[in-house]
Amino acid sequence: MISANSDKLVRSLHQKKYRIKNNKFILEGIRTIDCAINNATSFSFIIYTKRFSNQNPELISKINCKSTEIVSEMEMGKLSPSKSPSGILAIANMIDYGQFNNDSNVVFLDEISDPGNMGTIIRTAVWFGIYQIVLSPGCIDPYNPKVVRSAMGSHFSLGWIGEKEISSLNNYVLIGADQNSKNKQLDKLIDKWALVMGSESHGISKNTRLYLDQTIGITKIGAGESLNIGVAMGILLHKMTK
C-alpha cells in the first residue's frame, strides 16, 4: 500500500489545477514510461501491480527510481485516471521545455479539446520533426493523463509546447488546414511556416482566420464530411516535410 500522502497526490494530479500547483503529472502505460526512462526522467515515484511486473520484467529492471511500490489491482484501479489501467503509473515533474525557438516550423492548435486527439497530434508532429506546438487558449491541457497516454512518450521528444497568442507568430507564414482549400501542396518558397489546425467541431475560429496567410487541404476521393484532426494533420505534415 502506498502512503496516504502519495495516494492523495496521485488523485489530485487527475486535475489540471493540482498538476500546476505541484508541477507534476501522471505517466501511464508501458511505452510512455519506457520513453520517460530512456529520456532520463527523474520520477517522484512509480507504482505497479504484480501482474505488470511479471509480464514486463525488462521494463521493471530498467527503472532507476528510489521510490517504487507494488500495489494491488484494486488500488491501481482507484489511483489510475484510466478506465483500463495498464498496471504501471509514474509521477514525474513537468518537463522544462525552456524557450520557444523562433527559427523552426510549428503547429498551432486552435481550441483542440479532445485528449485522444491532442495526444495523437503530439505523437504525429514529433514523428515529422515538428518539435514545437503552440496552443490557443481553450485547448485541453497537454499534461492531461489521457493526452499523455495517447501521446505514447512523445512529450519527451517535444522541444516546446504551451500557450501563445497567434499574433506573436508574426514572422511565420501561417497556413490553415482547410478541407475546402484548393491548395493541395506547400509552396516550396516558404521556409518557415506554422500549420494551423482548427477544432474538431468548429474548424479554425474567426479570430484565428484573420491571421492566416494561406490555406492547404486534402483531396477527398470518396465520402464523408471531414477527416479526424490527427489523421488530417499527419497527411499535411507528410506533404509539408518531405
Q: Which residues bind a copy of itself (CB under 8 A)?
A: 31, 35, 116, 120, 123-131, 150, 152-154, 157, 218-228, 230-232, 234-235, 238, 241-242
Residue 208 to residue 188: CA distance in whole angstroms: 24
Pick the closer one to a copy of itself by CB: 96 or 225: 225
> What are the percentages of helix, strand and coil residues in the chain, rounded to 5?
35, 20, 45
Residue in the structure block whose three cell numbers are 511500490: 69
Q: C-beta of 230: minimal distance to a copy of itself in Å? A: 5
Pick the closer one to a copy of itself by CB: 68 or 113: 113
Pick the closer one to a copy of itself by CB: 19 or 123: 123
Pick the closer one to a copy of itself by CB: 166 or 198: 198
Residue 122 to residue 160: CA distance in whole angstroms: 11
Q: C-beta of 126: minimal distance to a copy of itself in Å? A: 5
State the virtual CA torsion across 10, 11, 15, 17 in degrees, nearest 10: -70
Q: C-beta of 199: minimal distance to a copy of itself in Å? A: 14
Residue 226 to residue 22: CA distance in whole angstroms: 39
Residue 224 to residue 74: CA distance in whole angstroms: 43
Q: What is the CA radius of gyration of the chain?
A: 20
Q: C-beta of 152: minimal distance to a copy of itself in Å? A: 7
Q: C-beta of 24: minimal distance to a copy of itself in Å? A: 24
Pick the closer one to a copy of itself by CB: 49 or 120: 120
If you ran DSSP here, which 8-state letter would residue 211 be given?
T
Instruction: Write the burial class of residue 133 (CB in 10 Å: 0-12 exposed, 13-18 middle, 19+ buried).
Output: buried
CA nearest neighbour of 85 among 96, 74, 93: 74
173 forms beta bridges with 193
Q: C-beta of 19: minimal distance to a copy of itself in Å? A: 21
Pick the closer one to a copy of itself by CB: 22 or 157: 157
